[in-house]
A and B are shown apart, each in its own frame.
Chain A
């Protein structure tokens, strides 16, 4: 009992206003960020950091502020309080809340990537699969058609889409294929951190499994760090190294994935873990 209390206490201390500690090797750090929608809290006083190659899961019920948090740290939403730091390729530490928009957009399409829940939001539906994968390449200055096409073909292979479909439009693809195409399109420029908002939501279970398998391999193989928002605990169990649990815009528990899932401390985390359906 005492141990439980102690752990709870340390968790609380960890996520209350903590001082900014700049570790040399961190990739991404958000400190005390808050986002309000008028009177309503989007997320409050959230801090997190991500090391290179690490996968962080964000879990919580609908409306708990997961997506708000994700959009804040990706730079899509302006935060009301707090700072967001990225240790970029040249080892300079950039503060998202301070840098100019052009710089932010440049980082968003080179160092970062964002996978939407609905592939229609992340893909250009009237442009061929090859063009979809090539867009980010062309955006960072690739000007050789043959090369772009070759890279696109390689990526189609990596995400297990038949290369002969390279000139087909995503609208002719199945939901699972569209999601895999979106992942390829995002990973093609080798970002160092990828944000995913319910990447397997809305897909049937076998397709989900396939995408998770693919993601796990790619993330491990390329050493890409990832932040995955989901309400599916099985997804984080499979992919994440660490997780944070959110409720009403607050982080209520955080820790190593297995630790939190096997031994949840907070009442809500316990509820979440116990409500997973067993087959």
Chain B
């Protein structure tokens, strides 16, 4: 026991608070402030090498580490779950390097780092939601030239974005894009909400929490300040629809949360459970209280 606490002390001495050095954090904070001032605009920043590969959330971790203060209560989720590899390792990383308190409860957390989901529990003011973003440029697969996409953003030439939605409807009869569904932030920049399911898109609109997006490999930071209008792109006759699997969670019975499909037997039997583990636990607790 004694030895372990010694080790912990040692770790804190070795690492600067939250791993990154102060100058780097300052650089990231500058980018973050700029990003908050121009909602949806992708601010370039000089992304650092992190002690994990690109694609594991290096962008999100850098943003988190620039925002973290010792008082923070951190929650990390991956696809909505607190107990998946990515979430566990990032949480441990910050416990080790910043010694901050951690939680699985959405409502207790002051800073939430997320991959691919927005928590079901409504976020509050003074909470920060940090997204891990693989590709920050919503126009990337439509126009490969970065010089051109920047120009398109600057002149808000977003016809091409609608061509993508048009192609979806022409091919599938409805807008097939189910994740990373493009949004217009503050009526200005078209933004990639990171690969969250489009079920979560409405939660971004007018959210009381600060939403920060970090893309490490692509070296971009963007943000949506609290109470900002975020509109999912659509056609008049094919309006945006937040969709989810039409089932109930087989653990908590909730029908209004986003579900994961899991195959439970060799003959292909399926089961659906909440992807947000914290929400699922809360609902189960509420249900058992009701039964009592």
A127-159 vs B: 1/0 string, CB under 8 Å? 110110011111110011110110000000000
Cβ < 8 Å to A, chain B residues 116-159: 154-155, 157-159
Assembled-state Cα–Cα distance A209/B199 (Å) = 53
**Is B236 in contact with A102, judged by CB distance below 8 angstroms?**
no
Chain A nearest Cβ from B173, distance in angstroms: 11
Assembled-state Cα–Cα distance A143/B159 (Å) = 10
Assembled-state Cα–Cα distance A131/B171 (Å) = 11
> Size range of the interface on B?
10 to 19
Q: Any chain B CB within 8 A of the CB of A105? A: yes
Q: Any chain A CB within 8 A of the CB of B163? A: yes
Chain A nearest Cβ from B165, distance in angstroms: 8
Q: Any chain B CB within 8 A of the CB of A263? A: no
A124, A130, A145: which contacts B238 (Cβ < 8 A)?
A: A145
B154, B158, B163, B169: which contacts A127 (Cβ < 8 A)?
A: B163
**Chain B at the A interface: SS class:** helix
**Is B237 in contact with A138, judged by CB distance below 8 angstroms?**
no
**Is B167 in contact with A105, judged by CB distance below 8 angstroms?**
no
Chain B residues, Cβ within 8 Å of A106:
155
B154, B158, B170, B236: which contacts A130 (Cβ < 8 A)?
A: B170
**Is B169 in contact with A145, judged by CB distance below 8 angstroms?**
yes
**Is A131 in contact with B170, judged by CB distance below 8 angstroms?**
yes
Chain A residues, Cβ within 8 Å of B235:
143-145
Q: Any chain B CB within 8 A of the CB of A162? A: no
A140, A145, A166: which contacts B159 (Cβ < 8 A)?
A: A140
Cβ < 8 Å to A, chain B residues 209-225: none
B158, B160, B170, B238: which contacts A128 (Cβ < 8 A)?
A: B170
A101, A134, A140, A149: which contacts B163 (Cβ < 8 A)?
A: A134
**Is A135 in contact with B236, judged by CB distance below 8 angstroms?**
no
Q: Any chain A CB within 8 A of the CB of B227? A: no
Cβ < 8 Å to A, chain B residues 229-245: 235-238
**Is B170 in contact with A143, judged by CB distance below 8 angstroms?**
no
**Chain A at the B interface: SS class:** helix
Q: Any chain B CB within 8 A of the CB of A160? A: no
Q: Any chain B CB within 8 A of the CB of A167? A: yes
Q: Any chain A CB within 8 A of the CB of B162? A: yes
**Is A130 in contact with B166, judged by CB distance below 8 angstroms?**
yes
**Is A138 in contact with B159, judged by CB distance below 8 angstroms?**
yes
**Is B163 in contact with A167, judged by CB distance below 8 angstroms?**
no
**Is A139 in contact with B166, judged by CB distance below 8 angstroms?**
no
Minimal Cβ-Cβ distance residue in A for B154: A102
**Is A148 in contact with B236, judged by CB distance below 8 angstroms?**
no
Chain A residues, Cβ within 8 Å of B158:
139
Chain A nearest Cβ from B181, distance in angstroms: 16
- Take A143-B236, A144-B235 as given contacts and tell me if A127 and B159 are in contact as well, using a CB distance cutoff of 8 Å: no
Assembled-state Cα–Cα distance A128/B154 (Å) = 27
B256-285 vs A: 1/0 string, CB under 8 Å? 000000000000000000000000000000
Assembled-state Cα–Cα distance A103/B158 (Å) = 15
Cβ < 8 Å to B, chain A residues 112-133: 124, 127-128, 130-131
Chain B residues, Cβ within 8 Å of A130:
166, 170
Minimal Cβ-Cβ distance residue in A for B171: A167
Minimal Cβ-Cβ distance residue in B for A136: B159
- Take A130-B166, A130-B170, A131-B167 as given contacts and tell me if A145 and B155 are in contact as well, using a CB distance cutoff of 8 Å: no
**Is B238 in contact with A105, judged by CB distance below 8 angstroms?**
no
Chain A nearest Cβ from B254, distance in angstroms: 33
Assembled-state Cα–Cα distance A102/B236 (Å) = 27
**Is A135 in contact with B159, judged by CB distance below 8 angstroms?**
yes
Chain A residues, Cβ within 8 Å of B167:
127-128, 131
Minimal Cβ-Cβ distance residue in A for B170: A167
Chain A nearest Cβ from B286, distance in angstroms: 42
Chain A nearest Cβ from B148, distance in angstroms: 11
**Is A131 in contact with B157, judged by CB distance below 8 angstroms?**
no
Chain A nearest Cβ from B4, distance in angstroms: 57
Minimal Cβ-Cβ distance residue in B for A166: B170
B155, B166, B237: which contacts A131 (Cβ < 8 A)?
A: B166
Assembled-state Cα–Cα distance A102/B171 (Å) = 33
Chain B nearest Cβ from A161, distance in angstroms: 16
**Is B166 in contact with A145, judged by CB distance below 8 angstroms?**
yes
Q: Given contacts A135-B160, A139-B158, A145-B237, could you give 5 more A-B pairs where the C-beta distance is less than 8 Å?
A: A102-B155, A128-B171, A138-B159, A139-B159, A145-B169
- Complex A-B: 24 CB contacts under 8 Å: A101-B155, A105-B155, A106-B155, A127-B167, A128-B167, A128-B170, A130-B170, A131-B163, A131-B166, A135-B160, A135-B163, A139-B157, A139-B159, A144-B235, A144-B236, A144-B237, A145-B235, A145-B236, A145-B237, A146-B237, A149-B170, A166-B170, A167-B170, A167-B171
Q: Which residues of B contact A (CB under 8 A)?
A: 154-155, 157-160, 162-163, 166-167, 169-171, 235-238
